[in-house]
């Protein structure tokens, strides 16, 4: 996956279209990510020994990777990402608009 934890992404589809946030968790097998303060769902919980107060909690739900774009630090917009191989054999992410390398967090 070209999106990693702690990347800043732009949501391009869904109810939260246009919002940006930091990636909290990545699920590569399911091709989903959890983005901070995006795609809130209500979870009805019972009181337990660990959580004394029950009720309705709001938390972020996973969103498909195809619905988010990586934010380029130079362009400051959501961009498509390519992969470029360096001379030493390592791979780096590259912005398709400006050609700037996007380091992994």
Bridge partners for 33 per DSSP: 26, 63
21-50 pLDDT per residue, tens: 999 999 999 999 999 999 999 999 999 999
Residues of the chain with pLDDT below 70 are none
Residue boundaries of the structural domains of the chain: 8-47+54-78
Nearest to 18 by CA among 71, 60, 64, 61: 71
Greatest alpha-carbon pair distance for the chain in Å reads 57
Bridge partners for 56 per DSSP: 44
| pLDDT number for residue 78 | 93
Residue with the two structure tokens 């191989």: 85
| pLDDT number for residue 90 | 93
Q: Which pTM value belongs to this model?
A: 0.87
Which architecture characterizes domain 8-47+54-78 according to CATH? Roll (2.30)
- Residue 90: left (phi > 0), alpha (psi -120 to 50), or beta? beta
């Amino acid at each position: 996956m070209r999106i990693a934890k702690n990347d800043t992404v732009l949501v391009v589809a869904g109810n939260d279209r246009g919002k940006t946030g930091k990636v909290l968790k990545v699920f590569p097998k399911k091709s989903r990510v959890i983005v901070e303060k995006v795609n809130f769902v209500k979870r009805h919980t019972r009181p337990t020994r660990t959580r004394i107060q029950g009720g309705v909690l709001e938390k972020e739900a996973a969103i498909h990777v195809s619905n988010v774009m990586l934010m380029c630090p130079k362009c400051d917009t959501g961009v498509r990402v390519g992969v470029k191989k360096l001379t030493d054999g390592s791979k780096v992410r590259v912005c398709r608009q400006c050609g700037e390398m996007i380091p992994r967090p």
